Chain A
Amino acid sequence: MSELNISNMTCPLPLNDHPRIKMAHGGGGRMMQRLIEELFFAAFDNPALRSGHDGAVLELPEGRPVMTTDSYVVRPLFFPGGDIGALAVHGTVNDLAMCGARPLYLSTSFILEEGLETETLWRVVQSMRAAASATGVQIVTGDTKVVERGHGDGIYINTTGVGVIENETQIRPGRIKKDDLIIVSGDIGRHGMAVMGAREELAFTPPIESDCAPLWNTVADMLDAEIDIHCLRDATRGGLCAVLNELAQSSGLQFDVVENDIPLAANVRGACEVLGLDALQVACEGRFVAIVPKSDAARALEMMRAQNDSAAVIGRVTDGEAGLVTLQTPIGGRRILDMPAGELLPRIC
């Protein structure tokens, strides 16, 4: 994922002067200027950013521009398999990819909590730089604010992304049709369990790593192969369950999925069983659902498996009841797969 080894680099800011972020780092004066130049410019270096203008003037290749935005809050900031910086790049880039757009540019806004270790910010920024470089996007404009200690969780990041759809492809829920197949790009639930494990200090064996990863390369391969993708949606909060329900609702069709066909790593499954959580509702950060016509499904699956060999066809679209998702259970029963209620709460026993 990352092509830069950041472990041997050191923070360019004079840590002895400012080992922690102060209110003045967001105050618009000299300290903010130094933070921007020595930390952000140094990491994200590109001409649009260096121009130091109020906004970035962009060159866009031919095609239909796509824009998306997302904000990132996660505790702890670093977790097995990723951190808030990688998340903030991948998450927004993945939303562009789900529209079939090649990701090109990102803006990034930081809300920092007074007292945050500058070294921590630097590690997050290096992680963003590695993620952006691996995905081929440039971070071209940004903003920094500092809030008083106790008013934030260290770092909040917002990123806005711009990309371009370079061909005539139409990827949207309205194109989902009866008899389409539903494919998931890899095993589910890793990110949510990795973060929960890190936050609650639960020692899973073997450890669960987040699936946090960029999805554009897989989508680009599928587009290059002229697969007639009807719809894509990345599974984030609410997990696979939320994606299936959203797409069933917006397409006005019924989705029938088979629980035994849904890929799930043994450690994630075990952790969910122990905590009484439904893995289908647990967050992912590097998985998506592709809905494709039956005739293209085998080729699509092959391309998804080239990136992640646990990708699988998990169900099909029917013209049953609009917006309904049903699940065939492991023992052969069938039930509704409902939209998650909200906060995941472990059961008592």
Chain B
Amino acid sequence: MKYIDEYRDPELAQKYAAAIAKVVTRPWTIMEVCGGQTHAIVRFGIQELLPDTVELVHGPGCPVCVTPLEMVDKAIEIAMRDEVIFCSFGDMLRVPGSKKDLLTVRAEGGDVRTVYTPLDTLKIATDNPDKQVVFFAVGFETTAPANAMAVHRAKEKGLGNFSVLASHVLVPPAIEAILSSPDNRVQGFLAAGHVCAVMGTAAYTPLAEKYQVPIVVTGFEPLDILQGIYRCLRQLEEGRSHVENQYQRAVRDIGNVSAQALIRKVFRVVERKWRGIGEIPESGWALSDAYADFDAERRFGLADIEVEEAQNCISGLVLQGLKKPADCPAFGKQCTPDQPLGATMVSGEGACAAYYRYRKDELYE
């Protein structure tokens, strides 16, 4: 299949593996930021092709994983109302809130629907004028343009029964939070290619300079990731710390300018709580004042809530790259994809679920 097979060529993969082994002279720790990359790394067995001295740690770039528990509980509270049709991307439905998940709400009679694009939600709202239709707008910069477009169109059409529960998060502040932590072990980053396709690469240059870390904007196919790792290691070995773009077929340095303009119009930058990490300043997007009428929290008058995470879940440490899934005493025992304790066990992009599905053999060793 075009645009896929050429990036999964086993011979080229072996060549990159050999080039990586040649360039490495000492141990390095690299974080792949995006959950899509984590998924590919475990699905294709990429770690096996790397020298033992190169450690990959899995970053916080899984939207399902970092959406705060409070926001999941708010979604559940809204979805349980009789007058509501609650729409969400598929894998948010299984994320455990403090008491239940959205699939349970559906089983209890709530109208909870999976959509593939937020624009589908507008059609549902148009077709159901006597219902309140709410979209769970989660995700990084990648999903923001479509979510912004949905809100923008709703305003144009005057769709009074549509609103969004917005919980967008941003990558650069999360990278900064990791780098500025006293416990940080990460020496180089593979930045999330699709985030940069929207936002461009400019925001990463000050981070690379300030913290002296190489940042390689990287794609999601096995060869993309191997090439990203190679470029990152080469910089580390040569003592350089620049922003490089491995994913040039999708990412321009300026990003997608019209998407950025729409995002600026619909959203404003806010402090955001990240599940397992905590509050990070200027790390999220909420609806701007001009679109505040479409804010589901406001429409349904939800009060701010504070809830506790499961005690025996270490997903926060996993998301910061401080622990591996298998370090968790609950991993594969009390916590499985069928009965997840924390969000990292839910999505295929979550580090714990990815390890459970593809690498639990390591536990048997």
Tell whether A331 pairs with B357 under 8 Å between CB atoms, given A345-B94, A347-B90.
Answer: no
In the complex, chain A residues whose CB is within 8 Å of the CB of B10: 330-332
B44 and A333 contact, CB distance less than 8 A? yes
Tally of A interface residues using CB under 8 Å: 30
Nearest B-chain residue to A342, judged by Cβ: B338
Tell whether A348 pairs with B143 under 8 Å between CB atoms, given A332-B10, A333-B49, A334-B48.
Answer: yes
B116 and A275 contact, CB distance less than 8 A? yes
Tell whether A346 pairs with B358 under 8 Å between CB atoms, given A331-B8, A333-B44, A335-B43.
Answer: no
Scan A254-289; emit 1 where CB is below 8 A from any B CB, else 0: 000000000000100110010110100000000000
Q: Is B315 in the interface zone, CB < 8 Å from A?
A: no
Tell whether A345 pairs with B1 under 8 Å between CB atoms, given A331-B44, A336-B361.
Answer: no
Task: List which B46-64 residues lie within 8 A (CB) of chain A.
Answer: 46, 48-49, 63-64
B359 and A335 contact, CB distance less than 8 A? yes
In the complex, chain B residues whose CB is within 8 Å of the CB of A270: 1
B348 and A336 contact, CB distance less than 8 A? no
Closest CB in chain A relative to B219 CB, distance in Å: 13
- In the complex, A200 Cα to B43 Cα: how many Å? 27
Nearest B-chain residue to A326, judged by Cβ: B361
B43 and A331 contact, CB distance less than 8 A? no
In the complex, chain A residues whose CB is within 8 Å of the CB of B194: 349
A336 and B360 contact, CB distance less than 8 A? yes
A348 and B357 contact, CB distance less than 8 A? no
Q: Is A321 in the interface zone, CB < 8 Å from B?
A: yes
Nearest A-chain residue to B47, judged by Cβ: A333
Task: List which A298-349 residues lie within 8 A (CB) of chain B.
Answer: 321, 324, 326, 329-336, 338, 341-349
In the complex, chain A residues whose CB is within 8 Å of the CB of B49: 331-333
Closest CB in chain B relative to A101 CB, distance in Å: 34
Scan B107-126; emit 1 where CB is below 8 A from any A CB, else 0: 00000001010000000000
B348 and A276 contact, CB distance less than 8 A? yes
Q: Is A57 in the interface zone, CB < 8 Å from B?
A: no
Scan A8-45; emit 1 where CB is below 8 A from any B CB, else 0: 00000000000000000000000000000000000000
Closest CB in chain B relative to A152 CB, distance in Å: 16
Q: Is A202 in the interface zone, CB < 8 Å from B?
A: yes
Nearest A-chain residue to B221, judged by Cβ: A331
B358 and A347 contact, CB distance less than 8 A? no
Closest CB in chain B relative to A249 CB, distance in Å: 15
B140 and A330 contact, CB distance less than 8 A? no
Nearest A-chain residue to B340, judged by Cβ: A341
A348 and B44 contact, CB distance less than 8 A? no
**Residue from A332, A334, A346, A348 whose CB has the most chain B CB atoms within 10 Å:** A348
Tell whether A330 pairs with B8 under 8 Å between CB atoms, given A335-B43, A346-B90, A347-B349.
Answer: yes
Tally of B interface residues using CB under 8 Å: 47
In the complex, chain A residues whose CB is within 8 Å of the CB of B320: none
Tell whether A335 pairs with B114 under 8 Å between CB atoms, given A266-B1, A270-B1, A345-B91.
Answer: no
Q: Is B205 in the interface zone, CB < 8 Å from A?
A: no
A348 and B139 contact, CB distance less than 8 A? yes
A331 and B89 contact, CB distance less than 8 A? no
In the complex, chain A residues whose CB is within 8 Å of the CB of B4: 269, 273
- In the complex, A345 Cα to B356 Cα: how many Å? 17
Tell whether A334 pairs with B1 under 8 Å between CB atoms, given A345-B91, A347-B349.
Answer: no
B337 and A336 contact, CB distance less than 8 A? no
**Residue from B43, B143, B338, B356 whose CB has the most chain A CB atoms within 10 Å:** B43
B143 and A331 contact, CB distance less than 8 A? no
In the complex, chain B residues whose CB is within 8 Å of the CB of A329: 43-45, 222
A346 and B89 contact, CB distance less than 8 A? yes
B114 and A324 contact, CB distance less than 8 A? no
- In the complex, A333 Cα to B349 Cα: how many Å? 19
B360 and A338 contact, CB distance less than 8 A? yes
Query: B45 is contacted by which of A324, A333, A344, A349 (Cβ under 8 Å)?
Result: A333
Query: A336 is contacted by which of B8, B46, B94, B359 (Cβ under 8 Å)?
Result: B359
Q: Is B36 in the interface zone, CB < 8 Å from A?
A: yes
Nearest A-chain residue to B143, judged by Cβ: A349
- In the complex, A331 Cα to B10 Cα: how many Å? 4
Query: B140 is contacted by which of A324, A334, A343, A349 (Cβ under 8 Å)?
Result: A349
28 residue pairs from A and B, CB less than 8 Å apart: A200-B116, A266-B1, A273-B4, A276-B348, A278-B348, A329-B45, A331-B46, A332-B45, A332-B49, A333-B48, A336-B357, A336-B360, A338-B356, A338-B357, A341-B338, A343-B94, A344-B90, A345-B91, A345-B93, A345-B114, A346-B89, A346-B116, A347-B36, A347-B89, A347-B348, A348-B89, A349-B36, A349-B140
Residues of A participating in the B interface, judged by any CB pair closer than 8 Å: 200, 202, 266, 269-270, 273, 275-276, 278, 321, 324, 326, 329-336, 338, 341-349
